[in-house]
Amino acid sequence: MSTLVIVESPTKARTIRNYLPAGYRVEASMGHVRDLPQSASEIPAAVKGETWAQLGVNVDADFEPVYVVPKDKKKIVTQLKEALKDVDELILATDEDREGESISWHLYQLLKPKVPTKRMVFHEITQEAIKKALKDCRQIDEQLVRAQETRRILDRLVGYTLSPLLWKKIAWGLSAGRVQSVAVRVLVTRERQRRAFHEGTYWDLKASLSKEKTPFASQLVTLAGTKIANGSDFDATTGQITAGRNVLLLNEDQAVALKERLTGKTWSVSDMEERPVTRKPAPPFTTSTLQQESNRKLRLSARDTMRVAQNLYEQGYITYMRTDSVHLSDQAIAAARSCVEKLYGQQYLSPQPRQYTTKSKGAQEAHEAIRPAGSSFRTPQETALGGRELAVYDLIWKRTVACQMADSRQTQITVQLQVEDAGFRSSGKRIEFPGYLRAYVEGSDDPEAALEDQEVILPNLKVGDHPNCTELEAVGHETQPPARYTEATLVKTLESEGIGRPSTYASIIGTIIDKGYAHLVSNALIPTFTAFAVTDLLEKHFPDIVDPSFTSKMEQTLDDIATGEAKWLPYLQQFYLGEKGLETLVRERESQIDATKARTVELENLDAKVRIGKYGPYIEVVNGEGVITASIPKDLTPADLDPKQVEVLLRQKITGPDQVGRHPETGEPIYVKIGAYGPYVQLGDKTDENPKPKQASLLKGVTPETVTLEMAVGLLALPRTLGVHPVTGGKIQASLGRFGPYVVHDQGKEGKDYRSLKAADNVLTITPERALELLAEPKKGRSSTNSKSKAALRELGTHPEDGEAINIYDGPYGPYIKHGKTNVSIPEGQTVENITLAEALNLLAAKASTGKSTRKTSKSTSSKSKSTAKSSTTAAKKKATET
């Protein structure tokens, strides 16, 4: 008996193939094989004339979806149909969540198998799990499919109904989405809070003390029995002390006078408190917490985290990575406890096995938390992983093992000190037993180093002691605006509010950035002026769409549909076609929305208008000379646009750019200007004879006001030639690029070798010796998932011509052969195990010759590309993001 097993990806197929008996053939569907139309060209001719055709959902016939096979999936479907002809049984083994169930259902509908068909599910790819799954096959869960289909239709209705409205009223290419728009509003609300924020200033005293040669610090907390004001006592909207707070606000003069009065006086310990504290380990990872911790520790985006986790799952290293559950199987608990006992000792093992339960009602995506796969956990060192894959696996392994470790026992110490009428406080922490902290500390890469950071050692003090004050200083503080969201904190907020599902957060945040609603700067998500305009429009005219509580209730209803507690059709009818349904609202409001107002962002305390234009945001003011506009630089955030910034931008337009002087050699004027990409210097005027005068961006941290003539001349002289490399004789230069200042070594045929400058280096003054030091450092790759940093699946040998290695690696589209910079896929029918060096050489030679001929004919195909560009653009205009 022969059986066809269908999974989503080639990697998953290869891994599963190892655990199936003879007679089983495993093929990949490459994800979804059928979906709603993504462009006008995909809409079937039979329905093209219907009013609902662009939606891809017949809202007049019980919201019947129109499913099509995308062009790039037709070949795959044909291959799967051919494979099905030669087997006696079909097993659909896609992922165990709602989306996986939906893929299996679509495969069944398309392939129309005439042989017995089963649905196989598993949450890890190990021999034991696959054998068990084969025995426990079931039928497709129609209820789960219906829930996913409802979710898909709902997202389509929101995206394809609201997005065209945004195109008409604000700007082409924008999108709205059921979850996406709420997430954007969350970012915009925080930026509004930052605009409304008023800084408060306060002063206090900091003392450096010692007892028996052990130093410790202490902070002023009271004066004459009254609490000293700190940051938490200020109202962020006024910059003043919050009404009703009985605190003493010190200014600089008062703090300095107090310091002088207390200097040389006797210090006494007035009170001491030691309080034992027990800390328990965090539960194992869910999709959301993995994304958060990966962003904090590894600086990986949610999208990259999920991509890496998907690879780890498909290779059999971890359990399924889309899950809301913190539950661990008995097998996993036993494996984790075995690791603890073996690596850390019995004393670090929790007395009883720890089992975690998920509080969220919607936690139904998978049976277990994310953990290392198998009945015994491979340590990170025992895997063949590298780069990002190793880092993420290490994170998952540590978190899972730590959850079965003993509690951490600590002692919190508070010491109250008195000097005249001033009260000071010192706080310390002593770790009595590290427990799980020995293996895992949230937000820290190195548990050992984190343990040291967590301890604050105080000397052996008792009431009545008189420590020695070695230094007393007055310290000024400014209150800080609310922090912008990072990917980690946004994911945490969305989950706590019940907005969307964690499995979709990665794609949602990716869409927000791709669509220009936010910029990711130093791990912070900064909303753009376009995000403000879109949020303003939706808040005024479609408040429910961006209301977190409304979206959360919608999410709950979708979960209820999955369990049969709610009916899908009445819900869709009410949401879209009801008296206050989305279709009705859009039809009513479209004529009421003024496009000029929709493109205008109203900001508090700003007379100038901010508008969204074809080429980005700009400011507009009206004076005696008429309307004046100026582009807003891309790095100027909504929270930072104030009247002073507006004045600088407009002055350049009204009076012309500031001149810092004339070039000492050419005599040409040098201007400081502000453009869409920030401030820069320009040599000479733009004329017909000189249409592109030389320009150079300012260095990081340099403002237009602080530019000197010497600095401007130096910037315009870039790149600077520093000399030649002592080994190769190649030229070494320093310059300024897209990612900041750098040095480059021209190695001739070998290419160019770049290194970024460190914070202490200056591109205008860096020496040849320093450049050589930087070039001697190992180069840091932008991606650690390339073939150089990960282990080869198989090493075939060396090339007879150049002696370079020929290896087989695992790539996103399956295994491939690599030699130098040439990659070639393994042909269909061949496997990693049976391909020979001779066959690899033939494939590489064929690829090389094809590459040469392709380059020669690239010009002849350009006209064809141009002719299809117009139709592609037309198709793109029909597409809207739906998440």
**Residue 448: per-residue pLDDT:** 57
| Length of the chain, in residues | 883
Q: Is the pLDDT of residue 861 over 80?
A: no
User: pLDDT at position 445, please?
Assistant: 60
Band of the pLDDT at 563, cuts 50, 70, 90?
confident
Question: Which residues form the catalytic set?
Answer: 320
Q: What is the pLDDT of residue 393?
A: 97
Whether the CB-CB separation of 374 and 126 falls below 8 Å is answered with yes
pLDDT in tens, 269-307: 999 999 999 999 999 999 999 999 999 999 999 999 999
Q: In this structure, what DSSP letter does residue 204 have? A: E
* Residue 298: closest CA among 386, 378, 440, 395: 395
Tokens representing residue 796 in the block = 């075939």
Return the HEC string of 498-520.
Answer: CCCCHHHHHHHHHHHHHCCCEEE
Whether the Cβ atoms of residue 329 and residue 126 lie closer than 8 Å to each other: no
Give dist(CA 182, CA 180) in Å, integer: 6
Contact 265, 420 (CB under 8 A): yes
Alpha helices, DSSP H only, in 619-716? 643-655, 709-716
Any idea which residue has 């599963």 for tokens? Answer: 16
The single-letter code of the amino acid at 482 is P
| 3-class state of residue 811 by DSSP | strand
Q: Are 425 and 416 in contact (CB under 8 A)?
A: yes
Confidence of residue 600 (pLDDT cuts 50, 70, 90): very high
**Residue 574 confidence (pLDDT):** 94
pLDDT value of residue 838:
76
Q: Report the C-alpha gap between 174 and 612 in whole angstroms.
A: 12
pLDDT score for 869: 40
> Strand 752-756 relative to strand 740-746: parallel, antiparallel, unpaired?
antiparallel
User: Which amino acid is it at 784?
Assistant: S
Q: What's 784's DSSP letter?
A: T
62 close to 569: Cβ distance less than 8 angstroms: yes
Of 641, 536, 579, 568, nearest to 184 (Cα)? 536
Question: Rounded distance, CA 474 to CA 708, Å?
Answer: 35
In angstroms, the Cα distances linking 422 to 67, 70, 261 are 75, 75, 10
Strand partners, 733: 721, 744
| Residues 360 and 324 sit within 8 Å (Cβ to Cβ) | yes
Q: Which residues pair with 521 in a beta bridge?
A: 524
| pTM greater than 0.85 (yes/no) | no
> Is the predicted pLDDT of residue 553 greater than 70, yes or no?
yes
SS3 content of the chain, % helix, strand, coil (to 5): 40, 25, 40
* Distance of alpha carbon 351 from alpha carbon 335, whole angstroms: 15
Judge whether 798 and 806 are in contact, CB under 8 Å: yes
How far, in Å, CA of 368 to CA of 853, rounded?
Answer: 52
8 Å CB contact between 385 and 790: yes
- CA 506, CA 489: separation in Å to the nearest integer? 13
Q: What is the pLDDT of residues 40-75, one digit of tens each?
A: 889 999 999 898 999 999 999 999 999 999 998 999
pLDDT of residue 794: 77
Our separate counts of H helices and E strands in the chain read 24, 32
Res. 447: pLDDT tops 80: no
Output the six-digit token pair for 647.
């004045």
**What 3-state class would DSSP assign to 362?**
coil
Q: Decide if 40 contacts 54 (C-beta within 8 A).
A: yes
Residue 788: predicted pLDDT: 39
d(CA 528, CA 189): 12
554-580 mean pLDDT = 90
Tokens 């340099």 map to which residue?
Answer: 702
Q: Shortest CA distance to 496 belongs to which of 364, 367, 360, 297?
A: 360
pLDDT of residue 444: 58
3-class SS letters over 386-449:
CHHHHHHHHHHHHHHHHCCECCEEEEEEEEEEEECCEEEEEEEEEEEECHHHHCCCCCCCCHHH
Mean pLDDT confidence for 850-859 = 42
The band of 829, judged by pLDDT with boundaries at 50, 70 and 90, is: low
Q: Which residue carries 């990716």 as its tokens?
A: 510
Cα–Cα distance, 741 to 757 (Å, whole number): 6
Indicate the average pLDDT of the chain. Answer: 87
**475, β-bridge pairs:** 204
Distance (Å) of CA 680 to CA 93, 612, 654, 708? 57, 23, 18, 12
CB 601 within 8 Å of CB 531? no
pLDDT for 385-408, tens place per residue? 988 999 999 999 999 999 999 999
Higher pLDDT, 265 or 854: 265
> Which residues is 279 bridged to in the sheet?
408
In this structure, which amino acid lies at residue 252? E
Q: Is 677 helix (H, G, I), strand (E, B) or coil?
A: coil
